[in-house]
Amino acid sequence: MTYEEQYARYRQMTEETLDALLSDGAFARIPSKLLQSMRYSALAGGKRIRPVLLLATTEMLSGPLDEARVPAAALEMIHTYSLIHDDLPGMDDDDYRRGRLTNHKVFGVGPAILAGDALLNGAYECLIGNALRYPAHLPRHVQAIAAIAGRAGVGGMIAGQSIDLESEGKEPELATLRYIHEHKTADLLTAPLEAAAAISGADDGKREALRRFGYAVGVAFQIDDDILDIVGDAAQMGKATGMDAARGKMTWPALAGLEQAKAESAALWREAEEMLSVFGDKAGFLRDFADHMTKRKN
Amino acid sequence: MTYEEQYARYRQMTEETLDALLSDGAFARIPSKLLQSMRYSALAGGKRIRPVLLLATTEMLSGPLDEARVPAAALEMIHTYSLIHDDLPGMDDDDYRRGRLTNHKVFGVGPAILAGDALLNGAYECLIGNALRYPAHLPRHVQAIAAIAGRAGVGGMIAGQSIDLESEGKEPELATLRYIHEHKTADLLTAPLEAAAAISGADDGKREALRRFGYAVGVAFQIDDDILDIVGDAAQMGKATGMDAARGKMTWPALAGLEQAKAESAALWREAEEMLSVFGDKAGFLRDFADHMTKRKN
């Protein structure tokens, strides 16, 4: 199977699981308008990077792929809730996301707040329900949930969002931007690797390698986003470029220079690939993933 | 120990646990402004009914009280997040809560959205971390988390909030109001009873009695709130009375008449007390709780 075929397979598994979970009666009776708004944002396409990483890493570690489906989808629910809330007035106040109107532009601000809350709480409902389905593996699943909750939480993604919001209008600093990239982006990309390691019962050495892979991929991914906002092609990006500068948002190239940003990204991708050596040939997919990411145009 | 002393003891345990959990480094490194806004709302006093019910029920069932402290505090974090988000513009748009400015009036809308998200996610971080501390009781704790997540979620409290928001400006109906009371209020009052039953390993009969007690208490509590809004004394309530009518909000007395509302509430409190018979003398605190609630003035 080629890398593209394997990616498509993991993505398809994610879509199917999300579609099944976000149905009335799947894990709860959900009022129809609320469900509609949850589905609008959660089933809006996207690369599904986080669930793909969770599924691929579980398979690489010879872990139970079936048991990883719900955690993969739940992680995407958490990612989706963070986008809905980030787009709200009072936060980034965005009208478009992935080329479509944002949740609050379609359903209203109140319902969008609730849709985000519903996806966040729903992710834990699904995670806990899934853990209880595998009593023999319960401790592993609870550890995976702990990793996801920690990375999504007040010391992780929410910390990044909070400092991002606080730093608006202040003198930009590279240390602050690094903190934001580490937490707002890298933490939720590290979560699937740690969760897969927990579900698969990986040893400490492998866990640490995966954690460092996730960190490097996450920060590099966000620096690349900053670079693409400057040098990217609006048509390929699916959104306007140069937006960060126009809004006065901190970016790595703006604070460190474009060449230094490219060098930092390249070094991180190199470190990510080095972290995979402990997995030998089994890391083919993650290696290809890193290769493709370094060449991405959107 | 009198009922008041016992209530004060459970409440004190809750305050101490919340204060300890909501500290930088307790379960995560939390940015200082984010932590400040979380603490502003979570440590604002209040009756702490949900954690008190969880602790009292665990003790009644001879369950492990120490293991129930974090779940009790986490439930209050969930209750607090729901109030912060409910008060936001786009939702109820309230300036005051418990006689103090609402979170978004003090910290801004964006930070208030994040503070709510942080308390919701933080509740699960604390719940999962607590469960992992008791490996021998892990399944019981995970079942307790499942109960809390379900009652707080899209089939529970969030469903109630969603239908409440949807029904604004529509022809009011008693069936809709019952749905809102059942989900927006009763579900999160049933959660501590179900969680305590799970943590204590109660049998199915006791679980069912506690579930029905929670439902009756929750709906009666909300009908009483509606009644107090009409007949209550503003000074005792700590907020303006007659507000529901002024806002055109549905209330039980408005839809069914004041006498019928009082009769419905009385019947539910009676049912709540009946549900306690299976626990005999051990239910003294819950019996007193119901008695006091029927006589409350705020």
Which residues in chain B have their CB less than 8 angstroms from residue A135's CB? 139
Cα angle, residue B175 at apex, residues B174 and B181 outer, rounded to 5°: 85
Q: A65-86 and B109-132 are packed helices; what angle lies between their axes, rounded to 10 degrees?
A: 160
Residues of A in contact with B81 (CB under 8 A): 117
In a domain, A296, yes or no: no
CA atoms of B200 and B181, how far apart (whole Å): 28
Give the separation between CA B145 and CA B130, rounded to whole angstroms: 10
Tens of pLDDT along chain A (298 residues) come to: 999 999 999 999 999 999 999 999 999 999 999 999 999 999 998 999 999 999 999 999 999 999 999 999 999 999 999 999 999 999 999 999 989 999 999 999 999 999 999 999 999 999 999 999 999 999 999 999 999 999 999 999 999 999 999 998 888 899 999 999 999 999 999 999 999 999 999 999 999 999 999 999 999 999 999 999 888 766 566 556 666 666 667 889 999 999 999 999 999 999 999 999 999 999 999 999 999 998 887 7
Q: For residue A141, is it within any domain?
A: yes
Looking at the structure of chain B, the number of domains it has is: 1
The pTM for the full model equals 0.96
Query: Which range among B81-90, B109-118, B229-238 shows the weakest confidence by mean pLDDT?
Result: B229-238
Mutate to test the interface with A, among B80, B94, B114 (most CBs of A within 10 A): B114
Collapsed DSSP state (helix, strand, coil) of residue B17: helix
Looking at chain A, which residue has its C-alpha nearest residue B118?
A154
Any domain includes A297: no
Distance from CA of A273 to the nearest CA of B (A): 29
Cβ contact B153–A125 (<8 Å) = yes
Q: Which residues pair with B100 in a beta bridge?
A: B97
**Best mutation site among A32, A104, A114, A157 for testing chain B: the one with the most B CBs within 10 Å?**
A114
Computed over every residue of chain B, the mean pLDDT equals 94
Backbone φ and ψ of B96, nearest 5°? -125, 150
Query: What CATH number is associated with residue B183?
Result: 1.10.600.10
Supply the pLDDT for residue A240.
63
Instruction: Express each pLDDT in B166-193 by its tens digit.
Output: 998 888 899 999 999 999 999 999 999 9
Residue with tokens 């009518």: B245
What does the pLDDT read at residue A249?
Answer: 76
Q: Which residues pair with A97 in a beta bridge?
A: A100
Q: Out of A29, A91, A156, whose CB is closest to B155?
A: A29
Residue from A39, A141, A162 whose CB has the most chain B CBs within 10 Å, to mutate:
A162
CA–CA min distance B194, chain A (Å): 15
Distance between CA atoms of residues B280 and B291, nearest Å: 16
Give the structural domain span for B58.
3-294
Contact residues, chain A, for B158 at CB < 8 Å: 34, 114, 117-118, 121
Cβ within 8 Å, pair B28-A142:
no
Categorize the per-residue pLDDT at B165 as very low, low, confident or very high, splitting at 50, 70 and 90. Answer: very high
- The three-state DSSP-derived secondary structure of chain A is CCHHHHHHHHHHHHHHHHHHHCCCCCCCCCCHHHHHHHHHHHCCCCCCHHHHHHHHHHHHCCCCHHHHHHHHHHHHHHHHHHHHHHCCCCCCCCCEECCEECHHHHHCHHHHHHHHHHHHHHHHHHHHHHHHCCHHHHHHHHHHHHHHHHHHCCCCHHHHHHHHHHCCCCCCCHHHHHHHHHHHHHHHHHHHHHHHHHHHCCCHHHHHHHHHHHHHHHHHHHHHHHHHHHHCCHHHHCCCCCHHHHHCCCCHHHHHCHHHHHHHHHHHHHHHHHHCHHHHHHHHHHHHHHHHHHCCCC
Per-residue pLDDT at B106: 98
Contact A89 B109 (CB under 8 A): yes
Q: Which residues of B touch A91 (CB under 8 A)?
A: 109-110, 113
User: In this structure, what token pair is assigned to residue B54?
Assistant: 């969880």
Could you tell me if residue A298 is inside a domain? Answer: no
Chain A residue numbers touching B154 (CB-CB < 8 A): 28, 30-31, 34-35, 38, 118, 121-122, 125
Task: Using CA coordinates, name the residue in chain A closest to B82.
Answer: A117
Most A CBs within 10 Å, among B79, B105, B117, to test the A interface: B117
The alpha-carbon gap from A219 to the nearest alpha carbon of chain B, in Å, equals 19
> How far apart are the CA of B44 and the nearest CA of chain A, in angstroms?
20
The answer to whether residue B289 scores a pLDDT higher than 70 is: yes
pLDDT at A231: 84
B3-25: pLDDT as tens digits:
999 999 999 999 999 999 999 99
- Count of A–B CB contacts within 8 Å? 176
Contact check, Cβ <8 Å, B28/A150: yes
Looking at the partner chain, which of B124, B150, B161 has a beta carbon nearest the beta carbon of A114? Answer: B161
Contact across the interface for A165 and B89, Cβ inside 8 Å: no
Interface contact A138-B135, CB threshold 8 A: no
Contact A114 B162 (CB under 8 A): yes
Q: Which amino acid is at A274?
A: E
Say how many C-beta atoms besides its own lie within 10 A of residue B5's C-beta: 8
pLDDT at res. A280: 97
Residue from the list A34, A81, A89 with its beta carbon closest to the beta carbon of B159: A34
- Measured in angstroms, the CA of B135 and the nearest CA of chain A are apart by 8
